[in-house]
């Protein structure tokens, strides 16, 4: 899977979790950039990403995710 393919699927997950069809994320996107992205929603987002990509992050990986680019890197490592 390419980075662009990950982004296509990841954007769909973000749109679903945040209920915002216009939402598009990029490498530099952080929680501060997305309305309603708080710690509780973060847990929901991680679970949705794991389900969408059929992967499982360990807690060490989750803690290291500072931006969407980090998440994409982690997804590609797990695939």
Q: 74: domain range?
A: 3-78
Average of per-residue pLDDT values in the chain: 96
- The number of domains in the chain is 1
Residue 76, pLDDT score: 97
Cα gap 59→67, rounded to integer Å: 16
Band of residue 45 on the pLDDT scale cut at 50, 70, 90:
very high
Give the list of residues 6+ apart from residue 60 with CB closer than 8 angstroms, or none. none
What CATH code is carried by the domain that includes residue 60? 1.10.1200.10
**Segment 24-50 mean pLDDT:** 96
């Amino acid at each position: 899977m390419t980075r662009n393919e990950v982004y296509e699927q990841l954007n769909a997950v973000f749109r679903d979790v945040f209920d915002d069809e216009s939402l598009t994320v990029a490498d530099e996107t952080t929680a501060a950039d997305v309305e309603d992205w708080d710690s509780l929603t973060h847990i929901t987002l991680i679970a949705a990403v794991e389900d969408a990509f059929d992967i499982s992050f360990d807690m060490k990986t989750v803690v290291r995710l500072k931006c969407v680019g980090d998440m994409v890197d982690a997804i590609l490592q797990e695939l």
